[in-house]
Amino acid sequence: MSTLSRQSTLADKIGEMGVRLTKQRRFLIDLIESSQTHLHPSDILKLARQRGEKMDRTTVYRTLGMLKEMGLIEELDLLHLSGHEHYYELRDKNKRHIHLGCVKCGKILEFRSRLIEQLESEIRKETGYDVLSMRIEVAAICRKCRGENGDE
C-alpha cells in the first residue's frame, strides 16, 4: 500500500514489523527521527509537554525499550558526562559517526570518518560478520578547555 518512491521512515519500518503504532508511540518516534541531537527521556518528556502531548515517563521508557529491542535505535551513555541518563539516536545514523566527549565541559561532538565504513567492511571481509551497530565513544578535551583560543 505504501508508495515506493517515498523514503521509508521509522514509523513505516515499525508498521512493517507488525507493531501497532499508537498516537504516543508515533509522536515519540517522530521526535527521535527528526532530532538533531541525542535525546534522553527527560528531553522527550519535556518536548512532549511543550507540544501538548500527554505522555508519562513509563510510556517513554517502554517505547524506547521497544525501539531498542527492534534494533531501530541505539542507546548511548555518552561517557556519562552529564549525568546518568542514557541518550538515544537512530541506529542508521549512529553507525556513521563516533562521539567525542569533552571530559571538562561535557560537549559532545559527532565525528564522521571514512575509516568507520572501512572498519565495517574490513570486519565483514575478515570475519563474515555483518555490523549492525558500532558505538565508539571517545573521551577527550576540547580546544577551548585546553585553554587555546582557537578558531573553533
Backbone angles phi, psi at 49, to 5 degrees: -65, -40
Residue in the block written with cell 508498521? 15
Nearer to Zn ion, 29 or 32 (CB): 32
Residue span binding Zn ion (CB under 5 A) among the ranges 21-29, 41-49, 118-126, 134-142 = 134-142
Is residue 103 within 8 Å of residue 141, measured between CB atoms? yes
Residue selected from 17, 21, 105, 139 as contacting Zn ion according to rule CB under 5 A: 105
DSSP assigned state of 145: T
In the complex, the smallest distance separating the C-beta of residue 133 from Zn ion, rounded to whole angstroms, is 12
What span, in angstroms and rounded, lies between the C-alpha atoms of 26 and 47? 14
Q: Which positions from 61 through 90 interact with Zn ion, judged by CB under 5 A?
A: 89
In the complex, the smallest distance separating the C-beta of residue 4 from Zn ion, rounded to whole angstroms, is 29
What span, in angstroms and rounded, lies between the C-alpha atoms of 9 and 101? 29
Nearer to Zn ion, 15 or 68 (CB): 68
Residue selected from 54, 104, 124, 135 as contacting Zn ion according to rule CB under 5 A: 104
Nearer to Zn ion, 19 or 140 (CB): 140
By CB under 5 A, is residue 142 in contact with Zn ion? yes
- Enclosing H/E stretch for 45: helix 41-50
Nearer to Zn ion, 38 or 59 (CB): 38
Distance of CA 14 to CAs 37, 109, 152, Å? 22, 29, 40
3-state secondary structure of 138: strand
By CB under 5 A, is residue 47 in contact with Zn ion? no
Interacting residues with Zn ion (CB under 5 A): 89, 102, 104-105, 110, 142, 145
